[in-house]
């Protein structure tokens, strides 16, 4: 099933919980204290993905590709696999910046590798807090799966920033 709109409202997320739908919720808050803030309180069932270590291939010197260049597709697929995410999962992403920071980046990265069922929580964590969502403090664990990449031609790494179709991506060896 393909989701038809890139945003999901907090009320719609509540309905996913109530209907006991199988979905993956990801807190992609960024910053030096992001993981500590996640541990202090996140939406129930949310996994944490770190901008610095999971959503970017941070070089030792920012002059070599910028502060947050994209990880290679195979590395990103490994991260999804380690997080227990499959291409068939519906994913809802949020952050503490109203979805305008790392959550938007993760949404784009997933769309770029062909993940169809991904949405941003409209208003992010703050919107859920405003509606008095209960926050959890337990870290979420998921079983490892193998995330198989499919060819999209949209995933760019810095050396390939050209106006041409990219070579096909391949599955994890």
Question: Could you tell me what percent of the chain has a pLDDT over 70?
Answer: 79
> Residue 6 above 90 pLDDT?
yes
For the chain, what are the domain ranges? Answer: 7-136
Model confidence band, residue 94 (pLDDT cutoffs 50, 70, 90): very high
| Region 8-36 average pLDDT | 90
For residue 139, give the nearest of 39, 26, 43 by alpha carbon.
39
Q: Judge whether 137 and 43 are in contact, CB under 8 Å.
A: no
pTM of the model: 0.80
Model confidence band, residue 172 (pLDDT cutoffs 50, 70, 90): very low
Structure confidence by residue, pLDDT tens digits, 118-151: 999 999 999 999 998 889 988 876 667 777 776 5
Q: Which two tokens stand for residue 93?
A: 């992403």
- CA atoms of 27 and 24, how far apart (whole Å): 10
> What pLDDT, on a 0 to 100 scale, did the predictor assign at position 66?
67
Model confidence band, residue 1 (pLDDT cutoffs 50, 70, 90): low
Structural domain 7-136, CATH architecture? 3-Layer(aba) Sandwich (3.40)
């Amino acid at each position: 099933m393909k989701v038809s709109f890139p945003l999901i409202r907090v009320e719609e997320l509540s309905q996913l919980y109530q209907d006991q739908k199988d979905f993956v919720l990801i807190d992609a808050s960024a910053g030096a204290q992001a993981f500590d803030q996640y541990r202090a309180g996140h939406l129930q069932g949310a996994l944490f993905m770190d901008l610095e270590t999971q959503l970017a291939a941070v070089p030792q010197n920012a002059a070599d590709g910028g502060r947050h260049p994209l990880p290679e597709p195979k590395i990103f697929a490994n991260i999804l696999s380690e997080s227990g995410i499959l291409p068939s999962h519906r994913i809802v992403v949020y952050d503490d910046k109203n979805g305008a920071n790392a959550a938007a980046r993760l949404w784009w990265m997933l769309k770029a590798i062909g993940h169809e069922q991904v949405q941003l929580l409209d208003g992010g964590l703050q919107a859920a807090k405003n509606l008095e969502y209960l926050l959890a403090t337990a870290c979420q664990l998921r079983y490892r799966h193998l995330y198989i990449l499919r060819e999209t031609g949209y995933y760019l790494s810095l050396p390939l920033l050209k106006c041409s179709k990219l070579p096909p991506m391949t599955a994890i060896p």
